[in-house]
Amino acid sequence: MWTCLRHVDAPVETRTGRRQNQKQCWPRTSDKNFKTVSVNAWVEESEGEPGLVLGLRGEPYWLLPGKSGGIRNFALRAECTHLGCIAPWNEVQQKFVCPCHGSQYDPDGTVLRGPAPHSLALAHVEVVDKGNARVRLSAWTEEDFRDGAAPWWS
Ligand code: FES
Protein backbone atom coordinates (compact mmCIF):
# COMPACT_ATOMS: atom_id res chain seq x y z
CA MET A 1 0.00 0.00 0.00
CA TRP A 2 1.39 3.44 -0.89
CA THR A 3 0.02 5.87 1.67
CA CYS A 4 -0.03 9.56 0.94
CA LEU A 5 2.69 11.78 2.39
CA ARG A 6 1.97 13.55 5.68
CA HIS A 7 3.76 15.82 8.11
CA VAL A 8 5.45 14.97 11.38
CA ASP A 9 7.15 17.09 14.01
CA ALA A 10 10.92 16.89 13.89
CA PRO A 11 13.75 18.52 15.80
CA VAL A 12 15.45 21.20 13.72
CA GLU A 13 18.69 22.96 14.50
CA THR A 14 18.40 26.75 14.38
CA ARG A 15 21.11 29.15 13.19
CA THR A 16 22.27 29.55 16.78
CA GLY A 17 22.66 25.79 17.19
CA ARG A 18 19.56 25.45 19.37
CA ARG A 19 17.27 22.54 18.60
CA GLN A 20 13.56 23.06 18.44
CA ASN A 21 10.66 21.09 17.11
CA GLN A 22 9.08 22.24 13.91
CA LYS A 23 6.63 20.75 11.55
CA GLN A 24 8.46 19.53 8.49
CA CYS A 25 6.67 21.05 5.56
CA TRP A 26 6.02 19.50 2.21
CA PRO A 27 5.86 21.94 -0.68
CA ARG A 28 2.43 23.36 -1.38
CA THR A 29 1.99 20.85 -4.13
CA SER A 30 1.04 18.28 -1.52
CA ASP A 31 -2.28 16.55 -1.67
CA LYS A 32 -5.46 17.49 0.13
CA ASN A 33 -4.45 15.37 3.15
CA PHE A 34 -1.80 17.91 4.21
CA LYS A 35 -1.84 17.48 8.00
CA THR A 36 0.10 16.31 11.04
CA VAL A 37 0.14 12.59 11.70
CA SER A 38 -1.91 11.48 14.66
CA VAL A 39 -1.50 7.90 15.83
CA ASN A 40 -5.19 7.08 15.94
CA ALA A 41 -5.89 8.37 12.44
CA TRP A 42 -2.76 6.74 11.09
CA VAL A 43 -3.60 3.34 12.59
CA GLU A 44 -7.09 3.54 11.14
CA GLU A 45 -5.91 4.50 7.67
CA SER A 46 -2.85 2.25 7.49
CA GLU A 47 -4.89 -0.96 7.74
CA GLY A 48 -1.94 -2.76 9.29
CA GLU A 49 0.53 -1.81 6.55
CA PRO A 50 3.50 0.60 6.63
CA GLY A 51 2.63 4.19 5.79
CA LEU A 52 4.85 6.84 4.23
CA VAL A 53 5.34 10.17 6.05
CA LEU A 54 7.68 13.14 5.88
CA GLY A 55 10.04 13.05 8.82
CA LEU A 56 13.48 14.27 9.74
CA ARG A 57 14.68 17.05 7.43
CA GLY A 58 11.71 16.35 5.19
CA GLU A 59 12.96 12.91 4.26
CA PRO A 60 10.45 10.13 3.60
CA TYR A 61 10.01 7.57 6.36
CA TRP A 62 7.87 4.48 6.77
CA LEU A 63 5.81 4.36 9.94
CA LEU A 64 5.19 0.76 10.93
CA PRO A 65 2.12 -0.80 12.49
CA GLY A 66 2.59 -2.32 15.95
CA LYS A 67 2.44 -6.09 16.22
CA SER A 68 -0.61 -5.84 18.48
CA GLY A 69 -2.03 -2.54 17.26
CA GLY A 70 -0.79 1.01 17.52
CA ILE A 71 2.49 2.06 16.02
CA ARG A 72 6.05 0.74 16.35
CA ASN A 73 8.62 2.82 18.20
CA PHE A 74 10.91 3.10 15.20
CA ALA A 75 10.51 4.23 11.61
CA LEU A 76 12.46 3.34 8.49
CA ARG A 77 13.88 5.86 6.05
CA ALA A 78 12.20 4.95 2.80
CA GLU A 79 15.20 5.66 0.57
CA CYS A 80 16.91 2.54 -0.71
CA THR A 81 20.50 2.34 0.51
CA HIS A 82 21.75 1.56 -2.99
CA LEU A 83 21.06 4.75 -4.93
CA GLY A 84 18.20 6.34 -3.04
CA CYS A 85 15.03 5.29 -4.84
CA ILE A 86 11.98 5.05 -2.59
CA ALA A 87 11.52 1.39 -1.64
CA PRO A 88 7.77 0.79 -1.40
CA TRP A 89 6.08 -1.80 0.77
CA ASN A 90 4.97 -4.86 -1.19
CA GLU A 91 1.84 -6.12 0.49
CA VAL A 92 1.94 -9.52 -1.21
CA GLN A 93 5.59 -10.27 -0.50
CA GLN A 94 5.46 -8.57 2.94
CA LYS A 95 8.71 -6.72 2.34
CA PHE A 96 10.04 -3.46 0.94
CA VAL A 97 11.07 -3.92 -2.68
CA CYS A 98 13.03 -1.27 -4.52
CA PRO A 99 11.71 -0.77 -8.06
CA CYS A 100 15.03 0.55 -9.38
CA HIS A 101 17.43 -2.40 -9.08
CA GLY A 102 15.51 -4.94 -7.03
CA SER A 103 16.91 -4.62 -3.52
CA GLN A 104 14.66 -6.08 -0.85
CA TYR A 105 14.21 -5.38 2.86
CA ASP A 106 12.27 -7.27 5.51
CA PRO A 107 9.51 -5.56 7.57
CA ASP A 108 12.15 -4.25 10.02
CA GLY A 109 14.16 -2.76 7.14
CA THR A 110 16.93 -5.36 7.23
CA VAL A 111 18.43 -5.79 3.77
CA LEU A 112 17.57 -9.22 2.34
CA ARG A 113 18.89 -8.80 -1.18
CA GLY A 114 21.26 -6.33 -2.83
CA PRO A 115 22.64 -4.44 -4.52
CA ALA A 116 21.70 -2.33 -1.47
CA PRO A 117 24.71 -2.39 0.88
CA HIS A 118 22.85 -1.57 4.12
CA SER A 119 19.56 -1.98 5.91
CA LEU A 120 17.15 0.97 5.83
CA ALA A 121 18.07 3.79 8.22
CA LEU A 122 16.17 4.03 11.51
CA ALA A 123 14.53 6.89 13.40
CA HIS A 124 12.84 6.88 16.79
CA VAL A 125 9.08 7.31 16.88
CA GLU A 126 7.59 9.12 19.85
CA VAL A 127 4.00 9.89 20.56
CA VAL A 128 3.72 13.43 21.87
CA ASP A 129 0.83 15.71 22.84
CA LYS A 130 -1.23 13.11 24.67
CA GLY A 131 -4.55 14.65 23.66
CA ASN A 132 -3.91 14.48 19.94
CA ALA A 133 -1.36 11.62 20.04
CA ARG A 134 0.84 13.25 17.43
CA VAL A 135 3.84 11.37 16.02
CA ARG A 136 7.35 12.81 16.25
CA LEU A 137 10.51 11.32 14.75
CA SER A 138 13.97 11.82 16.21
CA ALA A 139 17.44 10.79 15.12
CA TRP A 140 18.61 7.24 15.85
CA THR A 141 22.23 7.54 16.92
CA GLU A 142 22.72 4.41 18.99
CA GLU A 143 23.46 0.84 17.96
CA ASP A 144 21.31 -0.66 15.21
CA PHE A 145 19.22 -3.30 17.01
CA ARG A 146 19.03 -5.40 13.82
CA ASP A 147 22.73 -6.19 13.56
CA GLY A 148 24.36 -4.65 16.65
CA ALA A 149 26.49 -2.34 14.52
CA ALA A 150 26.95 1.40 14.76
CA PRO A 151 24.40 3.21 12.60
CA TRP A 152 25.84 3.71 9.14
CA TRP A 153 23.53 6.73 8.57
CA SER A 154 24.80 8.98 11.38
S1 FES B 1 18.26 2.21 -5.83
FE2 FES B 1 17.28 0.55 -4.86
S3 FES B 1 18.24 -1.18 -5.70
FE4 FES B 1 19.21 0.47 -6.66
Per-residue pLDDT, 85? 95
**Is ligand 1 within 6 A of the CB of residue 85?**
yes
Q: Tell me the whole-structure pTM to 2 decimals.
A: 0.77
CA distance linking residue 149 with residue 134, whole number of Å: 30
Per-residue pLDDT, 26? 35
Per-residue pLDDT, 43? 80
Backbone angles phi, psi at 11, to 5 degrees: -70, 135
Q: Angle at CA 51, nearest 5°, toward 1 and 2?
A: 30
* Centre of ligand 1 from the C-alpha of residue 19, in Å: 33
Three-class SS of residue 38?
strand
CA distance linking residue 65 with residue 11, whole number of Å: 23
Contacts of 65 (CB under 8 A, 6+ apart): 43, 46, 48, 49, 50, 71, 72
Element (H, E) at 41: helix 39-46
Residue ID of nearest Cα to ligand 1 atom 3: 101
Tens-of-pLDDT digits for all 154 residues of the chain? 334 445 555 554 556 666 655 444 333 212 235 467 777 777 887 788 898 888 777 788 999 998 888 889 999 999 999 999 999 999 999 999 999 999 999 999 999 999 999 999 999 988 877 677 788 888 999 999 999 999 999 8
Residues forming a β-bridge with 90? 95
Per-residue pLDDT, 4? 40
Residue ID of nearest Cα to ligand 1 atom 1: 83
Per-residue pLDDT, 103? 97
The dihedral over CA atoms of 49, 54, 60, 63, expressed in degrees to the nearest 10, equals -30
